[in-house]
Amino acid sequence: MNGDRGIDVREAPPAFPREEHRMKIQVSRVPEEGRRERATYDPAALDMDRDDIHLAEPFEVDAFVTKIDEELVVAADIRCPLRLSCARCLEEFASAVQANAIFNYQVRPADVVDITDDIRQEIILGYPAIPICRPDCRGLCRVCGQNLNIAACSHQGE
């Protein structure tokens, strides 16, 4: 041993800056021609307290923000990668929630608008209730459990 103290996971730096978890829009900084905003959301910071929704990775939100009198309009492009288990064959597969949403807020010039609640809602709406890895997934044999996407078994066609 030569002083190697190993890796302490508690000291590992966060994968991305802690302060940029949420898209907060300062109304006073939105110019007449609009403004592009971008944020990387940490799923842990989204407080998605639901057993049926599992977000594994940070995801990006891209938005175009405009201000019309006292209304702030946010056109958000949400792309949230998912790892799901297929309800038929039980295999893991990659998927995503993709949504283009428009949010409207009544604002005053000094306001800071946090769009996180609306982002959370879009993800809940877009999240697949019954994940299927592909439309023609054959699932598992009810008798022997063979994954029929990979190979047939002797129980088919009986």
Q: Which residues bind Zn ion (CB under 5 A)?
A: 86, 88-89, 133, 137, 141, 143-144, 146, 153, 155
Q: How far is the CB of 136 from Zn ion (least distance, A)?
A: 9
Exposed, middle or buried, 151 (CB in 10 Å: 0-12/13-18/19+)?
A: exposed
DSSP state of 105: E
Q: Which is nearer to Zn ion, 116 or 146 (CB)?
A: 146
Q: Among 128, 59, 66, 58, which residue's Cα sits nearest to residue 103?
A: 66
Q: How far is the CB of 146 from Zn ion (least distance, A)?
A: 5
Tokens of 59: 């995801």
Contact 42, 59 (CB under 8 A): no
44/153 with CB nearer Zn ion: 153
Question: Which is closer to Zn ion, CB of 46 or CB of 89?
Answer: 89
Of 75 and 132, the one with the shorter C-beta distance to Zn ion is 132
Q: How far is the CB of 2 from Zn ion (least distance, A)?
A: 50
Of 152, 153, 121, 147, the closest CA to residue 134 belongs to 147
Least separation, in Å, of the C-beta of 153 and Zn ion? 3
- Quote the CA–CA distance of 114 and 30 in Å, as a whole number: 14
Cα separation, 81 vs 17, in Å, equals: 19
Residues ≥6 apart with Cβ < 8 Å to 68: none
Residue 29 or residue 155: which is nearer to Zn ion going by CB?
Answer: 155
Q: How far is the CB of 26 from Zn ion (least distance, A)?
A: 45
